[in-house]
A = this chain, B = another copy of it.
Amino acid sequence: MRANIKRNGQRRVVIVGGGLGGLKLASSLRDTDYQVVLVDKNNYNQFPPLIYQVASAGLEPSNIAFPFRRLFQNRKNFFFRMAEVQRIDTEEKAILTSIGTIHYDDLVLAAGATTNFFGNKNIEASALSMKTVGEAMRLRNTILQNLERAETEDDEVKRQRLLTIAIVGGGPSGVEIAGALAEMRRTIIPRDYPDLNASEMHIYLINAGPRLLGAMDEKSSHKAEKALKELGVEIIADCRVTDYQNHSLILEDGDFIHAETVIWVSGIKANRIEGIPVESIGHGGRILTDSFNRVKGMTNVYAIGDQCLVEGDEAYPQGHPQLAQVALQQAANVARNLIAAGRGRSARPFVYRNPGTMATIGRKKAVVEIGKLKFGGFFAWLLWLVVHLRSILGVRNKTVVFLNWMWNYFNYKQSLRLILKAES
């Protein structure tokens, strides 16, 4: 099987998943003695922080997705394979994929996490998630189609339902998409849908905890809540969602929200790969590792990013937060350790340095926390972008991507609201 790339005498690292962590690791091993094989089910990397803008039709999918093959053009000893990974065979030191067996010397699992519906089948069948560009495209198509349907719907109850969007989950994703949709209502509806009454459109943000952005400082929560309320978002706090039936979201207190569109950003679970010992799977499906990101009970197998849970860090007894910065730093540390091993040097345990956290609300508001420094505004948004851009891609791509984003950001009102589907 040609999936199994020819050996060239170099030690081979197989990376499963080309998200922020996987990509960072592949980049960090450039010009080393490692042959790198990157496996992903898509042929492109996607930039998670801006997926909500694709969902709200502020950016095109192609603005935040980059083909792996182009990113690694002209790079030697790098191989990309588009495939679904089915199982790890530790005896053979190989992964079994949809395109055949790929052998490894070192295996790094960086396949990230997916939406967690916590077993509720009705919600899983009806709610929209927002973890991938593909899901964002579906969300955008649904929202735009419902606006079209609403405009020709006589029945007031049905129309109201088509115009109601319920967002479940008060973390950064929920806050960001709520803000973006509220701005869409304010700026786009009156101009694009003159027959619709924008005030008939309701955006609910339902949070299980008492305040939005629970992982951030209370002041940030209040800023976010104030900004969203000003934008007209209806926030429901301290409330769990129990089911979705007959176009209605059912809340734990027995209340209903009639909403055709439910966006579920309430939790994630690590992507599952067969062949990992059951005792090495922890909370939320995360793969347990030691402080060197080595998977418990396995040899030469590492896990990084959202998919893993590093044990033994006293500052983070429950594991590190599933954030981009953690994945990037873990990738850098694993790369460092792999290079060190090749030179007979010792490995360094992973220590997370929190560069700060952030969430954007609408387009000119954001909240940032860097240590004790807490601030908001457009500069915060820009800072966030720069920090993350720094971590990925080459200089040329970085520039093109940055200019592209800026252009799209400032041309928001110019953005396209296309219901685009590949025909089948």
Using CB atoms and an 8 Å cutoff, list the residues of chain A in contact with chain B.
1-3, 5, 42-44, 60-62, 65-67, 69-70, 73-74, 79, 81-83, 99-100, 132-135, 137-138, 141, 144-145, 148-149, 151-154, 191-193, 195, 400, 414, 416-424
A422 lies within 8 A of B138 (CB)? yes
A2 lies within 8 A of B61 (CB)? no
Give A294 Cβ to nearest chain B Cβ, in Å: 29
Interfacial chain B residues near A60, Cβ < 8 Å: 60, 62
Contact of A137 among B43, B67, B420 (CB under 8 A): B420
Interfacial chain B residues near A149, Cβ < 8 Å: 99
Query: In the complex this chain forms, how many copies of it are found?
Result: 2
Give A370 Cβ to nearest chain B Cβ, in Å: 33
Give the nearest-CB partner of A416 in chain B. Answer: B62
CA distance A73 to B415 in the complex (A): 13
Give A70 Cβ to nearest chain B Cβ, in Å: 6
B424 lies within 8 A of A138 (CB)? yes
Show 23 A/B contacts (Cβ-Cβ < 8 Å), sorted by A.
Answer: A2-B153, A43-B417, A44-B416, A60-B62, A62-B416, A62-B418, A65-B420, A69-B192, A70-B417, A73-B191, A74-B191, A81-B151, A81-B152, A83-B152, A99-B149, A134-B421, A134-B422, A134-B423, A137-B422, A138-B423, A138-B424, A420-B422, A422-B422
CA distance A79 to B196 in the complex (A): 12
Interfacial chain B residues near A416, Cβ < 8 Å: 44, 62, 65-67, 70
Interfacial chain B residues near A65, Cβ < 8 Å: 416, 418, 420
Interfacial chain B residues near A2, Cβ < 8 Å: 151-154, 195
CA distance A151 to B39 in the complex (A): 13
Further 17 A-B residue pairs, CB within 8 A, beyond A70-B192, A99-B149 = A2-B154, A5-B195, A43-B144, A61-B420, A62-B418, A66-B416, A67-B417, A69-B192, A81-B151, A132-B423, A133-B420, A134-B422, A134-B423, A137-B423, A138-B423, A400-B414, A421-B422
* A195/B79 contact (C-beta < 8 A), A61-B420, A416-B62, A419-B43 known: yes
CA distance A400 to B145 in the complex (A): 26
CA distance A422 to B130 in the complex (A): 12
Interfacial chain B residues near A424, Cβ < 8 Å: 138
* A154/B1 contact (C-beta < 8 A), A419-B42, A423-B135 known: yes
Contact of A152 among B1, B43, B73 (CB under 8 A): B1
Interfacial chain B residues near A43, Cβ < 8 Å: 144, 148, 417-419
A67 lies within 8 A of B418 (CB)? yes
CA distance A290 to B62 in the complex (A): 46
Interfacial chain B residues near A69, Cβ < 8 Å: 192-193, 417
Give A35 Cβ to nearest chain B Cβ, in Å: 13
Give A214 Cβ to nearest chain B Cβ, in Å: 28
Give the nearest-CB partner of A81 in chain B. Answer: B152
B134 lies within 8 A of A44 (CB)? no
Give the nearest-CB partner of A5 in chain B. Answer: B195
CA distance A414 to B397 in the complex (A): 10
Give the nearest-CB partner of A150 in chain B. Answer: B2
Give A15 Cβ to nearest chain B Cβ, in Å: 17
Interfacial chain B residues near A133, Cβ < 8 Å: 420
Interfacial chain B residues near A132, Cβ < 8 Å: 423
Interfacial chain B residues near A100, Cβ < 8 Å: 152
Give the nearest-CB partner of A66 in chain B. Answer: B416
Give A153 Cβ to nearest chain B Cβ, in Å: 6
| Ranked 5 nearest A-B pairs via Cβ | A134-B423, A137-B422, A69-B192, A3-B152, A82-B148
